[in-house]
Amino acid sequence: MKTKTIVAIMLTMLLVTMACAFPVKANPSTIKIGVIGPVGWPQMQGMTEGATLAKEWINSHGGIVIDGTPYDVSLSLGDEHAADMRPDLGAAEMERLCDPTRENVDFVVGGFRTECVSPMHEVSVNYHKLFFISGAATNQLIDCGKFGTPQACGKCVKCDYNKYKYMFRVTPINDTMLAYNILGFLKGYVLPYKLVPLYGQQLDGDPELDIKTAVIAEDLDWTINMYNMFVYGGYLGPQANIVYSARTPWNALDFSSYLDSMHAAQVRLIVHIFSASASMAFISQLAGHPLKAVAAGIDVLGQMSDYWIWTGGKSQYEAFLASTGTRSPITESSSPYTTTQFWDAYYTRFGHAPIYTAWGAYDAIMGMRETLQTHSIHPPFDQAKTDLLIPIVELTDRVGTLGRFRYTSTHDVYSNEFGSMWTLGYVRAVWVQWQAGRLEVVWPMDRPYSKIYALPSVSGKMYPYPTDVNQEAKVDTADISAIGYAFGSKPELPSVPPHPRWQFVADVDRNKIIDGNDNTMVCYDFGKIVDPLPLLYGNEAGHLHS
Amino acid sequence: MVERFKFQISAMCDDLASAMIDPSVIIVQGAITGAIYGLLALGFTLIYGVARVVNMAHGALFMLGAYIFFALGPLGMFRLEVAPALILAAISLGIIGIIIYRLTVHPVTGDVLAAIVVTVGIAMMVQQLVLIAFGPNYQPVPPFIEGAATFGGTTVTYSRLLAFAVSLVLFAVVLIFIRITKIGSAMRAVAQDREVAMLMGVNTTTLYMLTMAISTSLAALAGILIVSSTTLVAEPYMWQQPLAISFAIVILGGLGSVKGSLVGAFIVGYAETGVAYLIPEGGYLQGAVALGIMLVILLIRPKGLFGKHIELE
C-alpha cells in the first residue's frame, strides 16, 4: 500500500511537471508586455501605472491594429529586486517574463537599479526580447565609452551591437547628459548670477570669486561618473570651490555628520545626487540645520507629488532635475495625450503625479504601438521578428509626452540641450524647484511655464529679504513689475491648472495669492538696497537700508 | 576596477588627512546614534535573553510599528493625536507579538534554528501584508517636534534628541524591571535554567509571551522614533537594515545581555559616525566598518563583549 502511494505521488508529480513544460499557448489576440522594476518603490509604481494607462487607452481604442487585426495589450509584472538588492532574483524574474513556457511576453519595459538591470539585460538578450529601459540612467548600459580600447566592457550596445541590440533607453537621459544639464544650470546660471554676486569670495588673492560647494551622492553605479566629474574633474567650473564631498550609503538614515562638516566648511551650494528614500532624510535634516546652503542636484523621489507631504514642506527651495514640473505643458502636439492631458489622466486615475518612470513606460508602449501599426509584423515576436523590428524601432522619431523623441545610433535617448533655452524640442531634463507645494520648472528659462528660481528665504537662510523679489540686492521697479505681472494669481492644487502667471517669488507675504499686500510690502521697502552680505558664514548681518 | 579602488583609497586618505576635527560632532552624534541603535536592539536581545528566540522578524515588526503609527496618527485613517497613537501602536505590536509567539514560535520553543526559520517567514509575511494593506506608497511619519539644538560644532534635531532620551529611559526601565520586579526575577530565573524555574512554579509560556510582547512593543517604539527623526516615511522594505544592525549589535554585545546591547550599540554608533565625519568619501563604508569592528571584537571575545545571559544582569 505504501509503495502504491509513493508511486501514485511520483506519477502525479511527473504529470504535473510535464503539463508545466508545455509551451504556454499565447493568446493570439494579445500583445503581452512585461513591466519589471523595483516592487515596493515608487519607481515601479510609476512604471506600472504608466503602462496601465497606456494599456487602458489602447484597449479602449480598438487595440493595436496590425494589418487590420486588433491586438489587445496585457501586462505582466516582475520584480527586479532592487529593494533588497538581489540582482540574481531580478534576473530570475526576467527569466520568468521572457520564458516561452511561462509568461512569454512580447517585449519588456522597465529597469531601474543599474545593478539589477545588467543581469536582466543578459536574460533579455538570451531570449531575444526587446527591453525598453524606463528608469536606469547609467551610460554603461548602452555605451561604456571605451569601445575600441582594452577597457571596453564588451557588454553594452556599443561594444557588441549584434548581441546587445535588444536594449533601448526611453527615459531618463543618460548620466552624462544629466551631468551636462547640472552644469548648464549651476555653472551657467546659479553660480554666476545668483550665488557669486551675493556670497562670492576670493581666495588667496585670486581675482575670481567662487562659492564653497559640496557634492554628496549615494554610492551606486549611476552616480559614479557624475560624482567624479564634479569632484575631481572640475566640471562645475572655477566658481564652484569644492570644499566637501561625500559618498553615502544608498539607504543612509542620518546625515548629521555630513551636514555638520558642510556647515564647518561654510558651504553655500550642495550638489546632491540621490535616487532612494535617503533623499528625504537628507532634505528634511538640511531644512532643520543651520547650514545656509541651497540644494541643487538630482533627487529622483523629489518628483513625486507626495514628496511635499512626506517632507512636511521641508523640500521648499530644493531644486533638481526632472522630466517635467507639476502639470507643465512640455508639449501640446504629442498624441494621443499631450503632456498635461497625460498628467490629468494619470492624476485622475491614480491620485498622484507621475514620476519619470511612468512617462517612460507610457511612451515606450505608445511608441511601440505606432511602430507595430505601421509595419506588418505580428506577434508573437520570436527572434526573427524581433530582429526585423529592431531597425524599425531605431528609426523612431515621434513626439512623446516629454518632447520630441528619437534614439541615438546606440539606442540611447537622443538629447542635445542643457542650456537656458529649449529650442529644438528634443527630450531633455528640466530643472524644477519646489515652490509653495508645486514643482515649478526653473530651467530652461524660455518656456512660458518657467518660473524664477528662488534662493531659500525661510528663517533668513540664504536670502532674507522677500521684498527684493528677484533677489538682485535692491528693491526697485523690477520687483514691482514682477508682482504686477503675476497680480491676482494663485498656485492652486496640483490637479487644477495653475494660473499661468503665478510666480512664487512675487508672493512676498507667502499667503498663496499675489495681491495688493505684496505690492504694499515692496513699496514700503522701495529704493532700499541690501548690504553686501558678509563673507563670514556664521553671522550674516546684511540688512536693507536706504 | 583596481584603478578605481586605488583612487578611492587615495581620496579617503586625503579626507582623513585634511579633516578639521571637531570632537563635539563625533561625541554628540555618536552618542545619539548609539542610543538610538540601542533602542533598536533592545527588544531583540530581550527575547533571546529570556526565551532563546532569535527573532528575525524584529525588523519587520519595527516597520509594522511605524505603519500602525501612521494609520492611527494625525495623517492616517484614525487621526488620533501623536501621544495616543504612539501608545496604541506600541500596545498593538505587543498584542501582535503575543499572537505571533503563541501561534508560531511557541511550538518550536527550544529549537533555535526552527525559531529562526519561523521568524524569517513571519518577517516575509508582515512585509507582504504591509504591501497589500498600504501599497508600495511611502507613508509619512512626521517628526514629533520641529527644530534643532546646537552643541558645539554639531546640530541635533529635537526629534533625534527625543529618540535619544527615550532610548536611555527605556534601557533604564528595562534594567530596573529585570532587577527589581517579580516578573523580572522570573525572567532571570527562566533564562538561567528553564526547567528549574518551571519547578519553582514559573509559568514559562506566559513569561515568554510577556517577554515577546515587551520586545515587539520596543521594536514598534524604535520604528516610530527612528523613522520620525530620519527618513520621515514608512516604506515596505525598510525592515532589512534595522534587522542587520540589531543582529550585529547583539552579537557584539553578547546575545542576551541588555547592558551588552547598549555598549555594542554605542560602539557601532560611534564607528559609523566616525567614518561619516572623518572619511566622507568613504561614507558608504560606515556599515562595513562597524561590522568590521564587531568581527575584530568577536575574534578576541567570541561570546561578545559581555558574553553572559540576562540572568546575570
**What cell does B9 get?**
583609497
Mean pLDDT of chain B: 88
Q: Do A256 and B29 touch (CB under 8 A)?
A: yes
* pLDDT class of A23 with cuts at 50, 70, 90: very low
Give me the percent of chain B exceeding a pLDDT of 70. Answer: 93
Size of chain A in residues: 546
**What cell does A348 get?**
485622475
* A contacts of B137 (beta carbons < 8 Å): 42, 45, 306
The average pLDDT across B198-217 equals 91
Helix (H) or strand (E) holding A310: helix A307-310
pLDDT for A4 equals 66
Distance to chain A for B46, nearest Cα, Å: 25
Residue A475 · residue A525 · CB < 8 Å: yes
Q: A86, A113, A260: which to substitute to probe chain B, counting the most B Cβ within 10 Å?
A: A260
The DSSP string of B24-46 is HHHHHHHHHHHHHHHHHHHHHHH
Q: Residue A325 phi/psi, 5° resolution?
A: -90, -165
* A contacts of B236 (beta carbons < 8 Å): 40, 83
The DSSP string of chain B is -HHHHHHHHHHHHHHHHH----HHHHHHHHHHHHHHHHHHHHHHHHHHHHH----TTHHHHHHHHHHHHHHHSTTSSS---HHHHHHHHHHHHHHHHHHHIIIIIGGGTT-HHHHHHHHHHHHHHHHHHHHHHHTTS-EE---SS--EEEETTEEEEHHHHHHHHHHHHHHHHHHHHHHHSHHHHHHHHHHH-HHHHHHTT--HHHHHHHHHHHHHHHHHHHHHHHHHHTT-EE-TTTTHHHHHHHHHHHHHH-TT-HHHHHHHHHHHHHHHHHHHHH-GGGGGGHHHHHHHHHHHHHHH-TT-SS---GGG-
* pLDDT class of A25 with cuts at 50, 70, 90: very low
Residue type, A266: Q
Q: Do B155 and A260 touch (CB under 8 A)?
A: yes
Low-confidence winner among A57-66, A364-373, B174-183 (lowest mean pLDDT): B174-183
Helix-helix angle A278-287:A256-264, to 10 degrees: 50
* pLDDT class of B51 with cuts at 50, 70, 90: confident
Does the pLDDT of residue A496 top 80, yes or no? Answer: no
Half-sphere exposure of B64 (CA within 13 A, CB side): 28
Q: Residue A545 phi/psi, 5° resolution?
A: -150, 160
* pLDDT class of B135 with cuts at 50, 70, 90: confident
Q: What is the pLDDT of residues A459-480, one digit of tens each?
A: 667 888 899 998 888 899 999 9
* pLDDT class of A84 with cuts at 50, 70, 90: confident
Burial of B143 (0-12, 13-18, 19+ CB in 10 A): buried
CA–CA dist A428, A403 (Å, integer) = 8
pLDDT for B3 equals 64
CA–CA dist A277, A284 (Å, integer) = 11
CA-closest candidate to residue A269, choices A239, A295, A302: A295
pLDDT for A2 equals 62
The average pLDDT across B141-161 equals 89
Distance to chain B for A240, nearest Cα, Å: 18
Distance to chain B for A232, nearest Cα, Å: 10
* A contacts of B237 (beta carbons < 8 Å): 40-41, 83-84
Helix-helix angle B158-180:B258-278, to 10 degrees: 160
Q: Do A260 and B143 touch (CB under 8 A)?
A: no
Q: Residue A399 phi/psi, 5° resolution?
A: -100, 110
**CA distances (Å), origin A535, targets A237, A457, A531, B90, B193:** 21, 18, 11, 50, 68
CA–CA dist B226, A253 (Å, integer) = 9
- Identify the residue whose cell numbers are 501612521: B70
pLDDT for B197 equals 87
Mean pLDDT of chain A: 89
Sign of CA dihedral A368, A371, A374, A377: negative
When CB atoms are compared, the residue of A247, A265, A285 closest to B281 is A247
When CB atoms are compared, the residue of A245, A285, A306 closest to B280 is A245
Higher pLDDT, A150 or A78: A78
pLDDT for B255 equals 82
Q: Do A249 and B284 touch (CB under 8 A)?
A: yes
CA–CA dist A392, A389 (Å, integer) = 5
Distance to chain A for B63, nearest Cα, Å: 14
Residue A441 · residue A210 · CB < 8 Å: no
Q: Do A257 and B284 touch (CB under 8 A)?
A: no
Residue type, A464: P
**CA distances (Å), origin A228, targets A136, A245, B281:** 19, 10, 11
Does the pLDDT of residue B305 top 90, yes or no? Answer: no
Q: Do B286 and A249 touch (CB under 8 A)?
A: yes
Q: Do A42 and B233 touch (CB under 8 A)?
A: no
When CB atoms are compared, the residue of A44, A253, A290 closest to B231 is A253
What 3-state class would DSSP assign to A503? Answer: coil
Half-sphere exposure of A19 (CA within 13 A, CB side): 6
3-state helix, strand, coil in chain A (%, to 5): 35, 20, 45
CA–CA dist A406, A426 (Å, integer) = 8
Q: What is the pLDDT of residues A332-351, one digit of tens each?
A: 888 899 999 999 999 999 98
* B contacts of A249 (beta carbons < 8 Å): 283-284, 286-287
Q: Do A42 and B283 touch (CB under 8 A)?
A: no
Q: Which residues contact B130 (CB under 8 A, 6 or more apart)?
A: B63, B64, B67, B236
**What cell does A144 get?**
561604456
pLDDT for B270 equals 93
pLDDT for B112 equals 85
CA–CA dist B178, B188 (Å, integer) = 7
Q: Do B232 and A284 touch (CB under 8 A)?
A: yes
Residue A103 · residue A84 · CB < 8 Å: no
Q: Which residues contact A409 (CB under 8 A, 6 or more apart)?
A: A394
Q: Do A277 and B233 touch (CB under 8 A)?
A: yes
* B contacts of A310 (beta carbons < 8 Å): 138, 140, 232-233
User: Strand pairing of A294-299 and A397-400?
Assistant: unpaired
pLDDT for A540 equals 54
Residue A157: CB atoms within 10 Å: 25
The DSSP string of B71-97 is HHSTTSSS---HHHHHHHHHHHHHHHH
**What cell does A194 get?**
545668483
Q: Do A256 and B148 touch (CB under 8 A)?
A: no
What 3-state class would DSSP assign to A37? Answer: strand
Give this prediction's pTM: 0.88
The average pLDDT across A260-270 equals 93
* A contacts of B240 (beta carbons < 8 Å): 84
Peptide bond into A380 cis (omega under 30): yes
The average pLDDT across A103-109 equals 96
Comparing alpha-carbon positions, the chain A residue that sits nearest to B147 is A288
Q: Which residues contact A450 (CB under 8 A, 6 or more apart)?
A: A440, A441, A442, A443, A444
CA–CA dist A243, B171 (Å, integer) = 40
Q: Do B155 and A290 touch (CB under 8 A)?
A: yes
Comparing alpha-carbon positions, the chain B residue that sits nearest to A45 is B136
Helices (H), A113-216: 114-127, 161-164, 175-185, 196-199
* A contacts of B287 (beta carbons < 8 Å): 249
CA–CA dist A302, A321 (Å, integer) = 9
Distance to chain B for A258, nearest Cα, Å: 6
Q: How far is Cα of residue A101 from the mean position of the Cα atoms in its chain?
A: 35
Does the pLDDT of residue A28 top 70, yes or no? Answer: no
* A contacts of B26 (beta carbons < 8 Å): 257
pLDDT for A12 equals 60
Q: A216, A261, A299, A301: which to substitute to probe chain B, counting the most B Cβ within 10 Å?
A: A261
CA–CA dist B20, A234 (Å, integer) = 23
